[in-house]
Amino acid sequence: MIPGERVIAVDGGGSGSRFLCDGPAGRVTVELGPANVYTDFDGALRVLRDGLGQLARDMGADLTFAPACLALAGVIDAGIADRVRRALPLRHARIEEDWRAALEGALDGRDGAVVGLGTGSFAARKSGDAARAVGGHGLRLGDEASGAWLGRSALSRALHAAEGLADASPLTDVLLDRHGGVAGIVGFARDAAPADFAALAPEIAAAAGGDDPHAVALLREGAGYMRRALSALRWAPSEPLSLIGGLGAAYLDWLPQDMAAAHVPPAGTALDGALRLAHEFRGQR
């Protein structure tokens, strides 16, 4: 085979990393653990080198010169992108933030916007050559509308209900019962990771479907945040909008009418998006 005919795509994030090599003779994929280059640079690089090494072995080829797009969680600035690029055994690597590939994959390269709704959250929009994202930032200050945010907010409301600062609802009753009241919820929250809060999100979405007032208020608040984020990105209702991530579908019933009307199911995954970006990068070289 001629070197350069193969391209590499990587989707590296907090929940796992997916590697793909696409060439004339077919594709190989590899799945490994999480890789966040901001919170654990060395650990993430081990995962990335390991994944690239497995692709090369599976392909039976040297991939050093293959054009690659790596879309990675934690690429918060150009400096960290450079550090990643220098640390990889690739000569033609494009390092992107993870949202960039998710946007590209969901809209299959078209202009429009996505809102990512998993344990965390972000909103992103592409218009011609420009792409921009807002949000994310983690649960302490951000990740509004995300699964972790929904779970934490519902537990706060359960405390308010237990102490008479808010009305009780079936959702707050069940949260208090299951955790053993106020002290149990406080103890759970003290040690909970964002994923632990997010584990409550499907139940909250189901409660909203059953008209639980606290759950409905939270999903409406989350949708309101998305509206503000999309406004900041200058998204217009004439453009397609995809909700992606595990909680995307849960929010569909709670979107304002113009956002619901613009919604299109995601065309592909972040790995598909990274592959598009890798082919684009190959064409530009």
Tell me which residues touch a copy of itself (CB under 8 A).
Answer: 76-77, 134-135, 137-138, 140-142, 152, 155-156, 159-160, 163-166, 182-183, 185-186, 189-190, 192, 228-229, 231-233
**Cβ 270 vs Cβ 70: under 8 Å:** no
* Angle, vertex CA 88, rays to CA 244 and CA 37, nearest 5: 45
* Minimal distance, residue 265 CB to a copy of itself, in Å: 26
Residue type, 149: W
* Minimal distance, residue 260 CB to a copy of itself, in Å: 21
Nearer to a copy of itself, 167 or 258 (CB): 167
* Minimal distance, residue 38 CB to a copy of itself, in Å: 9
* Minimal distance, residue 86 CB to a copy of itself, in Å: 20
Nearer to a copy of itself, 161 or 207 (CB): 161
Nearer to a copy of itself, 22 or 143 (CB): 143
**Cβ 269 vs Cβ 19: under 8 Å:** no
Where do the H-state alpha helices sit in 210-247?
A: 213-232
* Sign of the C-alpha dihedral computed for residues 280, 135, 37 and 86 taken in this order: positive
Nearer to a copy of itself, 134 or 262 (CB): 134
- Cβ atoms within 10 A of the Cβ of 239, count? 18
How far, CA to CA in Å, does 93 sit from each of 78, 96, 102, 176, 198? 14, 10, 18, 50, 33
* Minimal distance, residue 76 CB to a copy of itself, in Å: 5
Nearer to a copy of itself, 55 or 95 (CB): 95
Phi/psi of residue 44, each to 5°?
-65, -40
Nearer to a copy of itself, 133 or 275 (CB): 133
Q: How many helices (H) and strands (E) does the chain have?
A: 12, 9
Which helix H or strand E contains 21, and what residues bound it?
strand 16-23
* Minimal distance, residue 228 CB to a copy of itself, in Å: 5
